[in-house]
Amino acid sequence: DIQMTQSPSYVSASVGDRVTITCRASQDISNWLAWYQQKPGKAPKFLIYSASSLQSGVPSRFSGSGSGTDFTLTISSLQPEDFATYYCQKANSFPFTFGPGTKVDIK
């Protein structure tokens, strides 16, 4: 099975900062990658599909890029509501493996 890793596992940032999270797949998954945001006590929220397509209603400060094995999620200007944990996920076919998550915390 394809394994997903994320780095860093934790990032401390300030409002207005540009934040980049990396996700790596153990094999080529083309652009079959999704990103989610989860706040404490809440269900995950779907942000991005096909590595770079923004889900409807997601602010444009979020962007995704990459293909093959290396992907990034970028928040161009961090807002207070963006402090959360972010997960990448292999899409297309099962098993739909999630990355371990990256927690974005307030500096």
Interface positions with another protein (CB under 8 A):
1, 32, 34, 36, 38, 43-46, 48-50, 55, 87, 89, 91-101
Name the residue nearer to another protein (CB basis): 36 or 71: 36
CA 59 centroid distance within chain: 14
Find the shortest distance in angstroms from Cβ 76 to another protein: 21
Name the residue nearer to another protein (CB basis): 17 or 65: 65
Q: What are phi and psi of 80, to 5 degrees?
A: -55, -35
User: Rounded to an integer, what distance in angstroms lies between the CA atom of residue 85 and that of residue 66?
Assistant: 20
Name the residue nearer to another protein (CB basis): 1 or 81: 1
3-state SS, residue 86: strand
